[in-house]
Amino acid sequence: MAASFDTDLTRPGVLRAGINLGNILLVTGKAANGDPEGVAPSLAGLLAEHLGLTVELVPFASPGEVADALAGDGWDIALIAEEPERAKTIAFVDAYVEIEATYMVPEASPLKTLADVDAPGIKIAVSDRSAYDLYLSRTLKSGELVRAKGLQGALDLYVNETLDALAGLRPALKENAADLGGQRILDGRYTAVRQAVGTKPENTTLQTAIAAFLKTAKADGTIAGLLKRFGVEEKLSVAV
């Protein structure tokens, strides 16, 4: 099967998969050879196996770096959140899991709802160029985003600068709240981040094959099994 995809691949027979190390729900460990482990790397491996290809995992520190690497031919597929700004250059085939995004605020904060956060003078720490940063950049009317590199950077900014709110994915915010103490996670969500598989726009043969694989993997329990295997079944949902 591999030969039919060679025109869509930089190296014949090898599927280079861009992996975002910054997503701690989808990359949960490291193999003995240094490769990332977790739902996203394993899904890339299963996809390559299905297509008759060898997988090569290409790690990046953040989703923004994954997206940027397209310009330098850094990968054949990318496993990052689908988002309109990224979709200008990346052809997202389909989402495989989704994660709620919300805010963490200090326990004593007067902010009670998601709408309360979008108000003049409210400063929100956020991981730069994350999917929810891009979403909030489009939709916030009055709240001010204050960006830092990566999840830890955003958390440090929230704490050290005593900002009003921390934007993030609900599972990670719950862990932050438990570690810090004295925090609240707001009910509801301002968006659901959908983690997807993207390709170069011109690689239509590969896109068709990936779409068929993901449809089956979602329906037959393959992706649900990966969530359970890596202990994130209570934090992620299989995308519909």
CATH number of the CATH domain containing 50: 3.40.190.10
Q: How many CB atoms lie within 10 A of CB 33?
A: 6
- Please enumerate in sequence order all residues whose Cβ is within 8 A of that of 130, keeping only pairs 6 or more positions apart, or say none: 22, 62, 63, 64, 81
Q: How many structural domains does the chain have? A: 2
Same domain, 9 and 93: yes
pTM listed for this prediction: 0.81
Same domain, 69 and 8: yes
pLDDT at 199: 97
b/e per residue 206-230 (b: at least 16 CB within 10 A): bbebbeebbeebbeeebbbebbeeb
* CA pair distance 136, 143, nearest whole angstrom: 9
Same domain, 14 and 86: yes
- 91-106 vs 165-169, strand pairing mode: antiparallel
Same domain, 150 and 218: no
What tokens appear for 79 in the block? 């496993």
**φ/ψ of residue 39, rounded to 5:** -60, -50
pLDDT at 1: 47
What tokens appear for 140 in the block? 């916030």
Same domain, 187 and 198: no
Residues spanned by the domain of 234: 2-97+194-238
- Please enumerate in sequence order all residues whose Cβ is within 8 A of that of 105, keeping only pairs 6 or more positions apart, or say none: 111, 117, 164, 165, 166, 183, 184, 186
Local confidence pLDDT in tens for the 240 residues of the chain: 455 788 899 999 999 999 999 998 999 999 999 999 999 999 999 999 999 999 999 999 999 999 999 999 999 999 999 999 999 999 999 999 999 999 999 999 999 999 999 999 999 999 999 999 999 999 999 999 999 999 999 999 999 999 999 999 999 999 999 999 999 999 999 999 999 999 999 999 999 999 999 999 999 999 999 999 999 998 899 998
Q: What is the 3-state secondary structure (H, E, C) of 127-190?
A: ECCCHHHHHHHHHCCCCEEEEECHHHHHHHHHHHCCCCEEEEEHHHHHHHHHHHCCEEECCCCC
* CA pair distance 188, 215, nearest whole angstrom: 28
* CA pair distance 133, 136, nearest whole angstrom: 5
